[in-house]
């Protein structure tokens, strides 16, 4: 009998600190699978954000640093420009990328930095205790939108892939999800492409991953994945927004 | 005969593998692990497991190894 | 004998950085330091280096963070309001023990202030500026030759102690022109240490992590203790200051940067009139020349601190001499520069 599925080599044995049913563990793993498959572990430099994924370096078995809140794309720019041979990727949550770090994100994308950004969107702030994220959907209750997100008070959910895909420096923007095995496989394909693009010198690639946060959605893991399928992915439609290849 | 091995101590009992197993080979366990949660268990009485790996693919905690 | 060239202070600083092996510059335009990024944008490509005009000072300092952890000699520059924005990044550089040069060509504040020269960021520079228990080496040049020399030195110090270093100048030093000798300083490139802590991909070694989040029990205190030991070593070894007439002065002026140049003229004039006046010019503002001032306090009757601020360095002077002698102050702020005769009047009031 042959082992057909096991932990990727680029992933450490450490048990994650994530809550049961949290999507971060899946995204961490598929990034490691992609790094193994592309044979780039010894060239990769990952950048962890501020947010739940700040401890990603405890789970990834390659060089990793940690940026100040929102500054991942700027740090990635510095690393990649100094040595373009390194494969540099940033891992960011919705607060890190789409709130405090919006300027860094938009400008790294607009400069066409040859980096990969994995954007984990779970529509809520996890680490600080379930507050509204820029991607919280209308009427969604969080600890700072107790009556639900109201557009007059809190504005609209921010659509990152749609926003970034209009920038000429962006080569690739795709929104995927990890709420079912089939979606995880598609997400992995997109992440693999975003790394391959960087290897091929295609400029900025971003993959937005819809990911369950059962704890702060106030749902069981089962209901959380169902919520992504039936509600969240209607606000954030899955699919490829841009794939221009090399310019 | 395809089978899976579940690392009981890593498992947080989220149950996503139970939800997505197309052959209903996995069920919520009845005994607690060191974390104090009920890890899932492989209960493939009718030898229905095909080794499709859906359970391992959706597992957020990399608890499952699949053999075929 | 290397030939002397005529450049403005901001350009001298940029060229000196390149000679010192700096190959990464990121910054955001702000007056009065704009000649520096403009020079870098032209020179960096010629030497195979990187110049990035960032979208903000915040982004620029974080680009420097990335370049530094990848092993490059990296720098950014700005002026007062922009330096305020960089404080978060500087704290992270200190927490991650990353070397970098940050240049502050000071202008008047608070707020947007004005674009005239000032020395009102002394507290911010010498106390750390950002959050947390950290220090940065702060060097204050008073001439263009010293800008060149201290810029080169600052990269060596940053690498040696794995710490951010700040050059604290002002709008006059940035804009003025003086002949400078640059070429003889090439040896600083050889003094570069091998960096065995950078992230460059884990080929043939265990993966490395560069971070400042330390949640484990005692981990953060361990970092702080390590930093404090390093700061002590810096205080022991890296104090730099110049003293004029330390042996026989009744009144000691204390000034750095542009104001020290004015004060040295004051000393010259008053000495010609037989007045026993001297000058202490701290070159390193942190570490501060505490011992030198304490020794002087045994002989000198009083001190007069002159600053282009409402009184910041005066606190370090008082602390250094443990208030053993009267410490007077004369300062101008808001972009006004103290004139020689104004300072002479102050000295005459005391002596």
Confidence (pLDDT) at C21: 94
CA distance A160 to chain C (A): 19
User: Strands, E, within A32-162: which ranges?
Assistant: 44-48, 63-66, 87-93, 116-121
Q: CB of A172 within 8 A of CB of A193?
A: yes
Q: What is the DSSP string of C228-263?
A: HHHHHHHHHH---EEEESTTT-SEEEE--HHHHHHH
Taking CB atoms and an 8 Å cutoff, what residues of chain B touch A2?
A: 67-68
- The pLDDT tens digits of the residues spanning A184-215 come to 999 999 999 999 999 999 999 999 999 999 99
- The answer, yes or no, to whether B and A have at least 3 beta-carbon pairs within 8 Å is yes
Q: What is the mean pLDDT of residues C191-206?
A: 89
Say yes or no for a CB contact (<8 Å) between C202 and A42. Answer: yes
Chains in touch with A (≥3 Cβ pairs < 8 A): B, C
Say yes or no for a CB contact (<8 Å) between A3 and B67. Answer: yes
Share of residues in chain C with pLDDT > 70 (%): 96
Q: Torsions phi, psi of A134, nearest 5?
A: -60, -20
pLDDT at C188 over 80: no
Residue with tokens 């680490």: A127
Say yes or no for a CB contact (<8 Å) between A26 and B13. Answer: no
Taking CB atoms and an 8 Å cutoff, what residues of chain A touch C212?
A: 66
Distance CA C115, CA A106 (A): 30
Distance CA C323, CA C79 (A): 33
- Domains of chain C, with CATH numbers? 4-200+225-237 (3.40.50.970), 243-350 (3.40.50.920)
Say yes or no for a CB contact (<8 Å) between A21 and B59. Answer: no
Instruction: Count CB atoms within 10 A of the CB of residue B46.
Output: 9
- The answer, yes or no, to whether B and C have at least 3 beta-carbon pairs within 8 Å is no
Confidence (pLDDT) at C2: 67
Chains in touch with B (≥3 Cβ pairs < 8 A): A
Predicted complex ipTM: 0.97
CA distance A73 to chain C (A): 8
Q: Label residue C223 by pLDDT band (50, 70, 90).
A: very high
Distance CA C56, CA A84 (A): 23
Q: CB of A206 within 8 A of CB of A197?
A: no
- The pLDDT tens digits of the residues spanning C55-98 come to 999 999 999 999 999 999 999 999 999 999 999 999 999 999 99
CATH for A24-133+159-242 is 3.40.50.970
CA distance C18 to chain A (A): 15
Q: Which of C22, C56, C59, C195 to mutate to test the interface with A (most CBs of A within 10 A)?
A: C59
Residue C317 tokens read as: 């002077």
Taking CB atoms and an 8 Å cutoff, what residues of chain A touch B28?
A: none
- The pLDDT tens digits of the residues spanning A51-65 come to 999 999 999 999 999
pLDDT at C186 over 80: no
Q: Label residue A247 by pLDDT band (50, 70, 90).
A: confident
Taking CB atoms and an 8 Å cutoff, what residues of chain A touch B13?
A: 20
Residues of chain C with a CB closer than 8 angstroms to some CB in chain A:
23-24, 26, 50, 52, 54-56, 58-60, 62-72, 74, 88-89, 92, 96, 199-204, 207-213
């Amino acid at each position: 009998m042959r082992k057909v599925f096991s932990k990727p080599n680029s992933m450490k044995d450490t048990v994650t600190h994530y809550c049961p049913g949290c999507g971060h563990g899946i995204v961490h793993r598929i990034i490691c699978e992609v790094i193994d498959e592309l044979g780039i572990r010894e060239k990769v430099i990952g950048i962890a954000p501020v947010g739940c994924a700040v401890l990603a370096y405890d789970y990834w078995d390659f060089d990793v640093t940690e940026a100040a809140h929102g500054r991942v794309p700027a740090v990635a720019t510095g690393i990649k420009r100094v040595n373009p041979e390194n494969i540099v990727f940033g891992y960011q949550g919705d607060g890190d990328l789409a709130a405090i770090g919006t300027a860094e994100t938009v400008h790294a994308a607009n400069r066409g930095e040859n980096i990969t950004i994995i954007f984990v969107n779970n529509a809520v702030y996890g680490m600080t205790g379930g507050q509204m994220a820029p991607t919280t959907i209308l009427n969604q209750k969080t600890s700072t939108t107790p009556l639900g997100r109201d557009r007059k008070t809190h504005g609209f959910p921010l659509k990152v892939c749609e926003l970034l895909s209009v920038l000429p420096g962006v080569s690739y923007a795709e929104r995927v999800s990890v709420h079912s095995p089939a979606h995880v496989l598609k997400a992995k394909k997109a992440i693999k492409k975003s790394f391959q693009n960087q290897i091929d010198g295609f400029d900025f690639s971003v993959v937005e991953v819809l990911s369950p946060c059962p704890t702060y959605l106030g749902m069981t893991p089962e209901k959380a994945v169902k919520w992504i399928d039936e509600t969240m992915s209607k606000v954030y439609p899955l699919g490829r927004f841009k794939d221009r290849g090399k310019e | 005969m395809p089978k899976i091995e579940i690392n009981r101590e890593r498992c947080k009992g989220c149950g996503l593998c139970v939800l997505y197993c197309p052959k209903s080979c996995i069920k919520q366990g009845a005994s607690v692990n060191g974390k104090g949660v009920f890890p899932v268990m492989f209960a493939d009485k009718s030898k229905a497991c095909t080794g499709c790996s859906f359970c391992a693919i959706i597992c957020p905690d990399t608890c499952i190894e699949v053999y075929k | 004998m290397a030939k002397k060239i005529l450049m403005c202070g901001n350009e001298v600083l940029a060229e000196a950085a390149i000679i010192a092996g700096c190959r990464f510059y990121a910054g955001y335009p702000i007056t009065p330091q704009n000649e520096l990024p403009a020079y870098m944008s032209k020179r960096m490509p010629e030497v195979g280096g990187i110049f990035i005009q960032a979208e903000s000072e915040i982004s620029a300092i974080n680009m420097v963070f990335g370049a530094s952890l990848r092993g490059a000699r990296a720098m950014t520059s700005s002026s007062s309001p922009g330096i305020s924005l960089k404080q978060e990044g500087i704290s992270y550089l200190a927490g991650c023990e990353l070397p970098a040069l940050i240049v502050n060509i000071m202008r008047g504040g608070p707020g947007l202030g004005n674009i005239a020269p000032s020395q009102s960021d002394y507290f911010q520079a010498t106390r750390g500026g950002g959050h947390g228990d950290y220090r940065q080496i702060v060097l204050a040049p008073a001439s263009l030759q010293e800008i060149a020399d201290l810029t080169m030195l600052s990269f060596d110090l940053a690498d040696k102690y794995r710490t951010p270093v700040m050059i604290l100048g002002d709008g006059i030093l940035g804009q003025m022109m003086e002949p400078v000798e640059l070429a003889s300083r090439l040896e600083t490139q050889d003094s570069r240490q091998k960096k065995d802590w950078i992230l460059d991909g884990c080929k043939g070694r265990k993966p490395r992590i560069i971070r400042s989040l330390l949640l484990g029990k005692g981990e953060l205190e361990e970092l702080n203790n390590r930093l404090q030991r390093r700061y002590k070593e810096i205080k022991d070894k890296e104090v730099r200051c110049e003293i004029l007439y330390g042996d026989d002065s009744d009144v000691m002026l204390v000034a750095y940067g542009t104001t020290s140049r004015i004060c040295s003229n004051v000393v010259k004039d008053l000495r010609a009139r037989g007045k026993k006046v001297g000058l202490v010019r701290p070159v390193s503002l942190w570490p501060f020349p505490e011992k030198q001032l304490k020794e002087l306090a045994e002989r000198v009757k009083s001190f007069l601190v002159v600053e282009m601020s409402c009184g910041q360095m005066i606190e370090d002077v008082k602390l250094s001499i443990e208030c053993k002698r009267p410490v007077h102050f004369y300062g101008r702020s808001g972009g006004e520069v103290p004139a020689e005769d104004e300072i002479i009047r102050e000295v005459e009031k005391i002596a």
